[in-house]
Amino acid sequence: MSLRKQDDAPLADEALARHREELKKRFPLPQPKPKRRSTTLGALLVLGVAAGSLAWLDPAYRSEHYSSAIGQRQVLDLADGSHVTLDGSSRIPVSWHLRSRRVELRAGQALFSVSPALYRPFRVSADATEVEVLGTRFNVDRQRDDVRVTVAEGKVVVRGNGASANLLPGDQIRGHAGQLGQPTRVDAEKVAAWKDGRLVFERTPLREVLATLQRYRDAPIHLDDPRLAELPVSGVFDSARPDSLLALLPQILPVKVSRENDGAVHLLGRDAEK
């Protein structure tokens, strides 16, 4: 009996195949109900993920680039009402994001006066050091991977490699390759005096003094003797006359200054061989 069922099976399949369409018309299958709730939930999930991604990524919608020439000070009025004063030989790109305002100090020095915006913090990065504020006034000085942040008004958060510090007016912190030092107290107005053409040094290492002078001088300054790098320099000088300070150095430090025909300057110790 089982053998006959197996023999009849192909015949039954052929009969069903011939009359499949007619059977569908006479005995229609029930139509599935639309899954509106699932579709709605799916759409909401997609929208939620998209919104979350935008919030997390904080994409930029506009960017601008500014730079100043050697010896030039430049005042920038940003679109949000903030103001940036660039020192000589300074470069910054500015980018506007959905949830933040960002500046990268690639070279030089800048004084920031930030317009308050509760939900869009203002961030300044210099090498591996980052400054974040909501609205305040502060100075950032970069010399390669050395960064100095000084607060004049308000408060800022400075972050480095795994560390952070909260600064108030008169606080200054230094970062080297992202490693933050301890905050110290300084006269913030003296630090920012460069904007008025005055360079104020208070026991500032010679290497920093020369790097500052280079922003106002075309020809290079060479510190040929590394033993001189940490010698302290104090005084107030005119940024428009960097060579006057170079000429004064042998009178206040154990150094000698030599000049080349192209204007380049070399600093050596007094005991160096001629």
Predicted local confidence at residue 42, as pLDDT:
52
Predicted local confidence at residue 52, as pLDDT:
47
Looking at 133, 155, 186, the residue that finishes a domain is 186
Q: Model confidence over 152-167: pLDDT tens digits?
A: 999 999 999 989 999 9
pLDDT at 29 over 90: no
Predicted local confidence at residue 24, as pLDDT:
46
Q: Quick one: 170 and 212 in the same domain? A: no
Report the chain's mean pLDDT, rounded to a whole number.
85
The better pLDDT of the pair 26, 106 is held by 106
Q: Quick one: 128 and 165 in the same domain? A: yes
Least confident of 38-47, 53-62, 109-118, 240-249: 38-47
Q: Quick one: 168 and 224 in the same domain? A: no
Number of structural domains found in the chain:
2
Q: For residue 121, tell me if it sits in a domain.
A: yes
- The pLDDT > 90 percentage for the chain reads 75
Nearest to 234, CA basis, from 221, 216, 247, 253: 253
- pLDDT band at 271; cut points 50, 70, 90: confident
Q: For residue 4, tell me if it sits in a domain.
A: no
Q: Quick one: 99 and 163 in the same domain? A: yes
Q: For residue 152, tell me if it sits in a domain.
A: yes
CB proximity list for 241: less than 8 A, separation 6 or greater: none
The better pLDDT of the pair 204, 3 is held by 204
Q: For residue 223, tell me if it sits in a domain.
A: yes
Predicted local confidence at residue 118, as pLDDT:
82
Q: Model confidence over 205-237: pLDDT tens digits?
A: 999 999 999 999 999 999 999 999 999 999 999
Looking at 153, 186, 219, the residue that finishes a domain is 186
Q: How close are the terminal C-alpha atoms of the chain, in Å? A: 121
Predicted local confidence at residue 104, as pLDDT:
98
- Paired strand residues for 185: 171
Predicted local confidence at residue 45, as pLDDT:
46
- Residue 265 is part of a domain; what is its CATH number? 3.55.50.30
Q: Model confidence over 94-115: pLDDT tens digits?
A: 999 999 999 999 999 999 999 9
Q: Quick one: 89 and 141 in the same domain? A: yes
Q: Quick one: 171 and 73 in the same domain? A: yes
184-194 mean pLDDT: 97
Q: For residue 77, tell me if it sits in a domain.
A: yes
Domain containing residue 77:
59-186
pLDDT at 53 over 50: no
Q: Quick one: 138 and 110 in the same domain? A: yes
Q: For residue 37, tell me if it sits in a domain.
A: no
CB proximity list for 67: less than 8 A, separation 6 or greater: 86, 90, 91, 92
Q: For residue 209, tell me if it sits in a domain.
A: yes
Looking at 128, 159, 186, the residue that finishes a domain is 186
Q: How far apart are CA 59 and CA 99, in angstroms?
A: 8
Distance of CA 175 to the CA centre of its chain: 14
Q: Quick one: 76 and 168 in the same domain? A: yes
Q: For residue 211, tell me if it sits in a domain.
A: yes
